[in-house]
Amino acid sequence: MGADNPIKNDINMPFLTPAEINSHIYGEVVQEIERSETLTPFLTQAIAAAIAEVKSYLSQFDSAAIFAQTGDNRNPIILMYTKDVAVWHYIQLANPNIELELRKERYQTATKFLDKVQAGKVVPDLPYKATDTEGTGETFIRFGSNPKRNNHF
């Protein structure tokens, strides 16, 4: 990162830091949105909201373990989609030089993927929640049935 980069990495967010958003949005665009060269809490709030949103889709997985990872230990797909969601929440403040359609598409792609994970159609390489051994009632049970058949004789 260059010295003129307005996104500083001094905020300690273990899974995703504001400095890592540079792969999805340029620093000069962040300056325009922030209207300042120093980081205000807007980007941090957008990242926190994105992490909370992605966690809500991953309820059957151990989200505490997933989002406690740092560096190369993070799941790259979850990281990429978390960045997409964070940028989508962030650019709602303003749209200088941002193609909203592209961001909207990426946000929708992220939420469609997370919907598939939530439905069990896609199973990413993530740790599952520990099974309930203490009777706390915190287990994940998936149930359902085949579509109803209508037979006519």
Region 92-103: mean pLDDT is 70
pLDDT tens digit sequence for 31-49: 777 776 666 678 888 899 9
Contact (Cβ atoms closer than 8 angstroms) between residue 47 and residue 18: yes
Q: Identify the pLDDT of residue 139.
A: 57
Q: What global pTM score does this model have?
A: 0.67
Highest-confidence segment of 81-85, 97-101, 103-107, 149-153: 81-85
- Per the document, the length of the chain is 153
Determine the pLDDT at residue 153. Answer: 75
